[in-house]
Amino acid sequence: MADRDPAEGRIEVWKTYKLYIGGAFPRTESGRTYLVAAADGTPLANACRASRKDVRDAVRAARSASGGWAGRTAMNRGQILYRVAELMEGRRAQFVEDVAQAEGLSAGTARAAVDRAIDRWVWYAGWADKIAQVLGSSNPVAGPYFNFTIPEPTGVVGIVAPETSSLLGLVSRLAPVLVGGSVAVVATSETRPLPAITLAEVLATSDVPGGVVNILTGLKAELAPAMAAHDDIDAIDAWGVPEALRREVELAAAENVKRVARRPKGVLDARFDWLDDRAAERPEWIAAFLEMKTVWHPIGV
């Protein structure tokens, strides 16, 4: 789609943004797109309207990358995620413009949100080689055995991103999944997807292996139930699921015994303060996508 700019006497060509799957930028297999507008209604671009087939492709890519990402040392994962923050810093001006347009914010307010998103990515990266010590334990037993409890990645996590906080909210939900060694399939904010697409471009040029993060734009009414029902998604972060869809998504997840992370009771997505570090920076959010494994080992063997 395009629009004519009367001031310049030319037709403005709107960019059509693609999906991010397996480290590449494919078009949706459905061929569908939808118009993305700024907070004031000004058209900005077109985005792919991902389908159930795109969800399946993203899950397949995530599963292929899962073993390699989980098998990296915690320190290496932290280094890779810190590098993402460095690249975000280099594209800070673009992120500020994207967030300001998407959320209808002043440049100063958008800059504060972007800076906090970068800082939050660094904060979570720092937990990579520490979370195991916090959650793990050496358990006392009555016998000649060592008994240890250690955290392991959940696997493939579907993330339904917050709707109102296009970048900071997404980073706050995505980084905890990655730092623990899981991989992600993300359904972006439906009305404000462009900052997430810019983040995908950062990830594509970073050290994050292809398939570790897969980003889909489109309608949550189509994507969230498909993610919840997919047997090869091990857990779903339902923070950004609209209230009208919540029951359907949770019932679909229960059918295949999928772990579901919900917003705290009484918390509304639109009213949550993502700038509040005490509320939005939580090691518990890393723990939500870790499995605790207990092992026994004979003493002296």
pLDDT tens digit string along 131-180? 999 999 888 888 888 988 999 999 999 999 999 999 999 999 999 999 99
Q: Is there a contact between 85 and 95 (Cβ–Cβ < 8 Å)? A: no
Q: What's the pLDDT at 6?
A: 57
Average model confidence (pLDDT) for the chain?
Answer: 94
Query: Which residues form the domain of 276?
Result: 2-298
Mean pLDDT value of segment 233-260: 96
Task: Please report, for residues 28, 85, 188, 194, 286, the alpha-carbon distance to residue 172 in angstroms, rounded to integers and kept in the order given.
Answer: 26, 13, 13, 17, 10
Query: What token pair was written down for 186?
Result: 């993300």
Q: Which long-range contacts (CB under 8 A, 24 or more apart) does 220-225 make?
A: 220/160, 220/163, 220/187, 220/190, 220/245, 221/245, 222/49, 222/50, 222/51, 222/52, 223/50, 223/55, 223/160, 223/187, 224/160, 224/187, 224/249, 225/249, 225/252
8 has a pLDDT exceeding 80: no
pLDDT band at residue 218 using 50, 70 and 90 as cut-offs: very high
Mean pLDDT value of segment 248-262: 96
Query: What token pair was written down for 73?
Result: 């040392």
Could you tell me how many residues make up the chain? 301
Structural domains of the chain, count: 1
| From 38-52, 137-151, 193-207, 259-273, the region with the lowest mean pLDDT | 259-273
5 has a pLDDT exceeding 90: no
Q: What percent of the chain has pLDDT over 90?
A: 84
Q: What percent of the chain has pLDDT over 70?
A: 97
Q: What's the pLDDT at 266?
A: 76
CATH assignment of the domain containing 249: 3.40.605.10
Quote the CA–CA distance of 11 and 156 in Å, as a whole number: 43
Quote the CA–CA distance of 228 and 160 in Å, as a whole number: 10
Q: What's the pLDDT at 13?
A: 76
User: Does residue 301 or residue 190 have the better pLDDT?
Assistant: 190
pLDDT band at residue 7 using 50, 70 and 90 as cut-offs: low
11 has a pLDDT exceeding 80: no
Q: What's the pLDDT at 267?
A: 78
Q: What's the pLDDT at 269?
A: 73
Quote the CA–CA distance of 114 and 100 in Å, as a whole number: 10
Q: What's the pLDDT at 179?
A: 97
216 has a pLDDT exceeding 90: yes
257 has a pLDDT exceeding 70: yes
pLDDT tens digit string along 177-205? 999 999 999 999 999 999 999 999 999 99
2 has a pLDDT exceeding 60: no
Q: What's the pLDDT at 3?
A: 57
Q: What's the pLDDT at 299?
A: 86
Q: What's the pLDDT at 296?
A: 87
pLDDT tens digit string along 93-130? 999 999 999 999 999 999 999 999 999 999 999 999 99
Residue whose pair of structure tokens reads 């697409």 in the numeric block:
197
